[in-house]
Amino acid sequence: MVALAKVFRAKGYEGTSLAELSEVTGLKKASLYHRFPKGKEAMATSVFNYIGDWVQANVFAALADENNTPEVRLKNGLNHIATFYDGGRESCIFRAFSMETGLHLFEKNISAGMNEWISVFTRIGVALGQGPESAKANAVQTLIDIQGSLIVSKGLNDTDVFEQTLHNIEHRYLNK
């Protein structure tokens, strides 16, 4: 599943072929269809859910872990984000599935997923003393920062842009 995810994230829904998924998994196409009878769309859905589970179990769990102070939770969450995007080298599944064809298939998954990110970051903002409205606005800005910096990092072939953005996010939350 991790191999499927890597291809879909890098190539996007439209740019991913079953031939390549067969290569990276070592399974022939017919075997992929045995595991995913509904074909490419089902493979993509599984990848989307797999990634969602990983983010939930790592990023969101760290941000919500009540054993730590909000400051530590934020730092841990951002570290998981850095790992997840390999320091800016990996693309986001939201982006990979949101050109027109993919968007039509996954629009509900994407909007639900983005709203989760916003919700979790709103909560950490509130935990850090922000009012609910500005916490929400900051959460939306955080999502924009992550998505935008991934695009710009790719376009400039410069992972510093992504790393710097994660620092900026942290500073904004901690009023540094």
Residue 35 in contact with DNA, rule: CB under 7 A: yes
In the complex, the smallest distance separating the C-beta of residue 44 from DNA, rounded to whole angstroms, is: 10
Cβ contacts of residue 16 below 8 Å, gap of 6+?
A: 7, 8, 40, 44
Instruction: Tell me which residues in 108-137 interact with its own copies (CB under 8 A).
Output: 110-111, 113-115
Question: Which CB atom, from 96 or from 118, has the smaller least distance to DNA?
Answer: 96
Phi, psi (deg, nearest 5) at residue 17: -110, 155
Residue 83 in contact with DNA, rule: CB under 7 A: no
Selected binder of DNA within 3, 10, 27, 114 (CB under 7 A): 27
Q: Which stretch binds its own copies (CB under 8 A): 23-31, 36-44, 126-134, 156-164?
A: 156-164
Selected binder of its own copies within 72, 144, 171, 174 (CB under 8 A): 144
- Contacts by residues 8-12 (CB-CB < 8 Å, ≥ 24 positions apart): 8/43, 8/44, 8/47, 8/93, 8/96, 8/97, 9/51, 9/90, 9/91, 9/92, 9/93, 9/96, 10/90, 10/91, 10/96, 11/96, 12/95, 12/96, 12/97, 12/99, 12/102
In the complex, the smallest distance separating the C-beta of residue 135 from DNA, rounded to whole angstroms, is: 41
Residue 3 in contact with DNA, rule: CB under 7 A: no
DSSP conformation class of 59: I
Residue 41 in contact with DNA, rule: CB under 7 A: yes
Between CA 61 and CA 106 the distance in angstroms is 24
Question: Which single residue is written with the structure tokens 């595991």?
Answer: 35
Catalog residues that contact its own copies under the rule CB under 8 A.
10-12, 14-15, 91, 94-96, 98-103, 107, 110-111, 113-115, 140-141, 143-149, 151-152, 154-157, 161, 165, 168
Catalog residues that contact DNA under the rule CB under 7 A.
16-20, 26-31, 33-35, 37, 39-41
